[in-house]
Structure 1
Amino acid sequence: MISLLRICDLAIIDELEIELHPGLNILTGETGAGKSIIVGALDLLLGARASNDVIRTGAESATVEGVFSIRHLETLAILQDQAIADPDDVSTVVVRRVIARNGKNRIFINGNLVTATTLRDVTSRLVDMSSQHAQYALLDSSTHLDMVDRFGGCWGDREAFGGYFATYRRLQDELAALHKAEQQRAEREDFLRFQHDEIIAAKLKTGEEEELEADLVKLRNLERLRSGTSAVVGALDAERQSAVERLAFAEHRLRDLAAFDESLLPLLSRLESARIDISDIAFELSKYNATLDMDPRQLDTAEERLALIRKLKRKYGATVAEIIEKGRSIADELERFGTAETKIASLEKEIGVLYHELTQRASQLSSIRRQCSDRLDAAVTAELSSLAMQRCAFQTEISSLDPKHRATFGPTGHDRVEFLVRTNLGEGFLPLAKSASGGELSRILLALKAILLVADPVETSIFDEVDTGVSGAVAEMIARKLKLAAGQRQVLCITHLPQVAAFADHHLKVQKAVIDERTVTRVSILTPDERLEEIARMLGGLTVTDKARDHAREMLKNAG
């Protein structure tokens, strides 16, 4: 139930606070007084799109706030799941929307910033609104399925079906993408396999390029190495007057001298070590020289190998290590390609299982709809009879989305629903758009609302000029329907008809005033005498006569 509505800087409303109560709350007032602004404010609280055009001239933002009381545990569970319930008062929900001129609009529930989706999810369980355009929306057959499912109590089954269907479509899209990429995949797989084979065939090793470059320097200078080392060996130990021979002579003389002075012994030891080292060096160089015999093909082989590495570097990476890593990444991609066929087969199997599940669930939904449609038809026909349409009959037509393929389905199943009506006895059933007048549409809408409200847990129903196109006795019948509905939930009705206003439990008048040369909207709850005057005005026009007052008094008396 809405207990309080606050509006600030919205259109011609500067500041307005409206207290609403259980029962039938009626809003009346002259055309242009601001009733539609109040309805618009309520619509914003229900999640309608906001435009900064509605901000009052001179203000930077508009604010709408509603205080709701809740009784249903389902709504409370949603608030708790979203962590936006008021821990101090779980039975109260405060919704606030701020529409800023700079476009930075914000939505709060119990002081918590939320999305428009969360707002609609919460408030749709609190309030049901029938706007001035609802009867025209009734002409759109796409709305009829929603009403049948609400009446049949299969909304939960339908949402579950929608979840399966969303998964089914996602998998279908994924499978289509895989098939579309199959040709490209095959071409790329051939290309990658060539690259992979080329890298693997090279049998690269980390550091190989540096080793080859060093080997090539040696191979290209082999003769210089051979002749040079021979000369060094000769100078050290193989020729007359070689270094080893001279060191041996020096060692012999120093040993003779050390016999006269022992302090020369360390020097003798060092000289001996130098002779031995140089002799070893000469021996090692001789061995090295012996290895310098080369197969003429060795240089060509090394140069070809280095050329291959440099070719691979131009294609796959700046270093041998990068080429090796490239080979690994290509191998990984090829492995994924190898699983593509498996993935396709897995998806096709999963889609098949889902299709079977969807087909069964769609058939179950269709069965529930067909069973409840007969009850809905009878109930609406009875309601219309009580609204002075005794010869009118209502019928729900359920057909397949694709008559040729029963298994074709959409997010709500495989049914198409359209309401038909027969307004004259002996005539056939026709779609609402082809057979019902404006007044008849108003009554059909009210009949549907009256029936759906029984199955709907919302605690507040808003009717914005639902009585359009009717008058007299029919208007009184509508008023009695609204009064009956208000016995089960809060009803807020905006009306121009005195017959409806007379049945109010709480009568609020909307009127314009000029304050400081600015037009503003004001709302006041009427006393019994003020109600009499307002209903008389609605009956008589600009001049309220005693006759109009008497008529208004009689209407109030009849309304009880």
Structure 2
Amino acid sequence: MLLELRIQNIAIIDDLHLRFPTGFIVLTGETGAGKSILVDAVGLLIGERASVEQIRTGATEGVIEGIFATTNNDALHAILTRLDLLGDDSGELVIRRTLPSSGRHRVRINGNAVPLSTLQDIGKFLVDIHGQHETQSLFRSITQLDLLDSFGGLLDDRAAFYEIYYAVKRLQRDLSIFEEQTTESRKEADRLQYEREEIESAAIEPDEDIGLEHERQVISQVHTLAELSNELYSTLYEDDRSILSRVGHAEWLLQRLYNVDSRLSDTAELLAGATAHLKELVGRVRDYQTQLDANPDRLEHVEARLDFLNQIKKRYGGSISSVMRHLEQITKELDGLTVSDDKKEELQSALATLRMQQVTQGKHLSKQRKKVAADLDQRVNKEMSDLHMKHATFNAVVEQERNETLNANGQDRVQFVFSGSVGESPRALRDAISGGELSRVTLCIKTVLAREDRIPILIFDEIDAGIGGAIAERVGKKMKTLGQRHQVFCITHLPQIAALGDSHFSVKKVVRQKRAITQVVQLAKQERVSEIARMLGGTKITQTVKRIAKEMLEIG
């Protein structure tokens, strides 16, 4: 409920501070006194667009502040908690809006600066203004759906559908992720398989590149090697004074010495060993000479193989050993990359089952909504008939979304439609009627849905337009009944409605220091008699009129 309202420098309001009780509150006053300014101010507190024209002439800024009770408003409490705007434990919500004559407007909620969009989100849970304003939650399709489901006791069925709907969404996501992972796994497996085949087909030997580098060096200098090895062979064996022949002569001399002095036995053995090693050396040099190959085709083959190995090494680590380690690694990875078709079939089967449940629950919910809508139609039309709107009809139309599109709330779109007279096609509430008639239709709907309507504050601005007498009294009684569950404000010119208020505020325009200002006071019992009498009798108020006014208040 709205506990306090403070308005500074808005239109003809200078500085106004009001405290409001619970129940059905009426505001009366002559035309132009500023009653609608109060409604506009509350509208600004719930996010309506502001204009610099609303600022009082000569003021640098206008300020509106409202203090609301948040107890017993779970939806409001939830959004404030989510936005971290809950404030202290007082159970109060303080909204302050500042309108400077130049510069950006400012909004604070419980002392926290917030954007206008946040105020609008919160305002939806606070106040419904019915009349010339466009803030009625009743115009929103989702609100109409919520009210219908609450009225029909379908919230559990809707919650069951909600769970299935999001279970389907989760499975769709899981399947999509699985398919993406499967695609990626197959791509990865193809890549690894290509690499393995490339390395295996290369038939690389350990340190092969080192051997080939050496072979290339030898082949490229084979003529030099041949010359050197020939000279070495000649020096060792072929020349007349070759090393081997000279060692042979030395061996002959040592043998003669040994024949005379046997102490040279070990020396003779050493020389014999040296001769044997020298002969082996000569043999190896001869073998080396025969192995030297100056074939250019072999050099071309070696260089091509080295180029290929260098490419492989560049791709897979820089060395033959790193290439072989990479082969071992990708072989292990390929063994671990198994794509399970069984898993995909399992997900698809579970998804198909849930979708069948979703369709079944959606159809059940839709069928129940249509039954509830018929009951709601009957009750609202009865309320309208009670207000002598005998040729008007109300319908809660339940239609399937296009192409049977499912959303979290089911497959239905709910729209409240109205026809004002016989033969007139029903149209959406926002488009069908305006002003007082719309307020009265809204009142009938709110009366039927009083238990389900979660918005605590209702403001009726034009509800008495075009009515009077007994109808006005019935309208007032319905608002008084609504006041048992909501805080209901009504701006009225009709004494029949004003007399039924649980509390009564008078709005007057007075002149101070040559400037008009709005003055609002809560009336005591006797003051209410005078105000009702004024509304009954105009400028001339007789004792009879006062007596009637008193009786009306006593009856109300």
Q: Same fold (TM over 0.5)?
A: yes
SS at match of 1:455: coil
Q: Which residue of 2 aligns with 1:546?
A: 540
* TM-score scaled by length of structure 2: 0.65
Please say if 1:475 is aligned against 2:472.
Answer: yes
Q: Which residue of 2 aligns with 1:449?
A: 446
CA gap 1:54/1:288 in 2 versus in 1, 3 angstroms? farther
Matches within 5 A, 1:429-468: 431-432=426-427, 440-468=437-465
Q: CA deviation at 1:348?
A: 4.0
**Structure 1 counterpart of 2:378, one-letter code:** A
CA gap 1:416/1:80 in 2 versus in 1, 3 angstroms? closer
SS at match of 1:475: helix
Q: CA deviation at 1:118?
A: 7.6
**Structure 2 counterpart of 1:17, one-letter code:** H
Stretch moving more, 460-469 or 97-106: 97-106
Q: In structure 2, list runs of 5 or more residues that go unmatched.
A: 247-277
CA distance in 2, matches of 1:168, 1:367: 22
CA gap 1:136/1:18 in 2 versus in 1, 3 angstroms? closer
- Among 178, 191, 194, the alignment partner of 1:197 is 194
Paired residues of 1:25 and 1:508 also in contact (CA < 8 A): yes
Q: CA deviation at 1:218?
A: 2.8
Over residues 219-273 of structure 1, what are the superposed CA-to-partner deviations in whole Å (9 max), with x where a residue is unaligned? 564437836985998999999899xx9xxxxxxxxxxxxxxxxxxxxxxxxxxxx
Q: Sequence identity, in percent?
A: 30
CA distance in 2, matches of 1:160, 1:482: 35
CA gap 1:215/1:126 in 2 versus in 1, 3 angstroms? farther
Q: CA deviation at 1:138?
A: 6.8
CA distance in 1, matches of 2:207, 2:371: 81
CA gap 1:21/1:332 in 2 versus in 1, 3 angstroms? farther
CA distance in 1, matches of 2:148, 2:382: 17
Stretch moving more, 211-220 or 467-476: 211-220
**Bigger radius of gyration:** 2
CA distance in 2, matches of 1:104, 1:334: 65
**Structure 2 counterpart of 1:132, one-letter code:** Q
Q: CA deviation at 1:393?
A: 5.9
CA distance in 2, matches of 1:367, 1:460: 33
* TM-score scaled by length of structure 1: 0.65
Paired residues of 1:212 and 1:306 also in contact (CA < 8 A): no
Q: Which residue of 1 aligns with 2:487?
A: 490
Q: CA deviation at 1:38?
A: 3.8
SS at match of 1:201: helix
Q: CA deviation at 1:477?
A: 1.7
CA gap 1:422/1:347 in 2 versus in 1, 3 angstroms? same
Over residues 169-223 of structure 1, what are the superposed CA-to-partner deviations in whole Å (9 max), with x where a residue is unaligned? 68769989999x99xx79x989994896267414589998985995586356443
Please say if 1:68 is aligned against 2:72.
Answer: no
Over residues 401-454 of structure 1, what are the superposed CA-to-partner deviations in whole Å (9 max), with x where a residue is unaligned? 46xx8x654443233445566877xx6795256987865544322111111112
Matches within 5 A, 1:10-21: 15-21=15-21
Q: Which residue of 1 aligns with 2:262?
A: none
Please say if 1:151 is aligned against 2:148.
Answer: no
CA distance in 1, matches of 2:515, 2:212: 92
Over residues 108-164 of structure 1, what are the superposed CA-to-partner deviations in whole Å (9 max), with x where a residue is unaligned? 3x4567788886776655544435356999788786444322322334643663565
Q: CA deviation at 1:371?
A: 3.7
Over residues 23-44 of structure 1, what are the superposed CA-to-partner deviations in whole Å (9 max), with x where a residue is unaligned? 2222345666654454344345
Paired residues of 1:507 and 1:526 also in contact (CA < 8 A): yes
Q: Which residue of 1 aligns with 2:388?
A: 388
Q: CA deviation at 1:499?
A: 3.5
CA gap 1:556/1:199 in 2 versus in 1, 3 angstroms? farther
Q: CA deviation at 1:313?
A: 9.2
**Structure 2 counterpart of 1:482, one-letter code:** M
Paired residues of 2:131 and 2:435 also in contact (CA < 8 A): no
**Structure 1 counterpart of 2:222, one-letter code:** E
Q: CA deviation at 1:64?
A: 3.8
Matches within 5 A, 1:419-430: 419=416
CA gap 1:437/1:512 in 2 versus in 1, 3 angstroms? closer
Matches within 5 A, 1:6-155: 6-7=6-7, 15-29=15-29, 35-46=35-46, 48=47, 56=55, 59=60, 64-71=65-72, 85=86, 88-89=89-90, 91-96=91-96, 108=109, 110-111=110-111, 124=124, 127-133=127-133, 144-155=144-155
SS at match of 2:463: coil
Over residues 329-367 of structure 1, what are the superposed CA-to-partner deviations in whole Å (9 max), with x where a residue is unaligned? 9x999999967x778756644542332232232233224
Please say if 1:369 is aligned against 2:363.
Answer: no
Paired residues of 1:512 and 1:522 also in contact (CA < 8 A): yes
CA distance in 1, matches of 2:172, 2:354: 11
Alpha carbon RMSD of aligned pairs, Å?
A: 6.0
CA distance in 2, matches of 1:308, 1:517: 102
CA distance in 2, matches of 1:322, 1:106: 67
**Structure 2 counterpart of 1:492, one-letter code:** F
Stretch moving more, 438-447 or 50-59: 50-59
Stretch moving more, 202-211 or 80-89: 202-211
Q: Which residue of 2 aligns with 1:359?
A: 359
Paired residues of 1:459 and 1:489 also in contact (CA < 8 A): yes
The count of residues paired between Structure 1 and Structure 2 equals 508
CA distance in 1, matches of 2:113, 2:497: 39
Paired residues of 2:45 and 2:64 also in contact (CA < 8 A): no
Q: Which residue of 1 aligns with 2:521?
A: 524
CA distance in 1, matches of 2:335, 2:465: 70
CA gap 1:12/1:189 in 2 versus in 1, 3 angstroms? farther
Paired residues of 1:537 and 1:548 also in contact (CA < 8 A): no
Paired residues of 2:229 and 2:289 also in contact (CA < 8 A): no
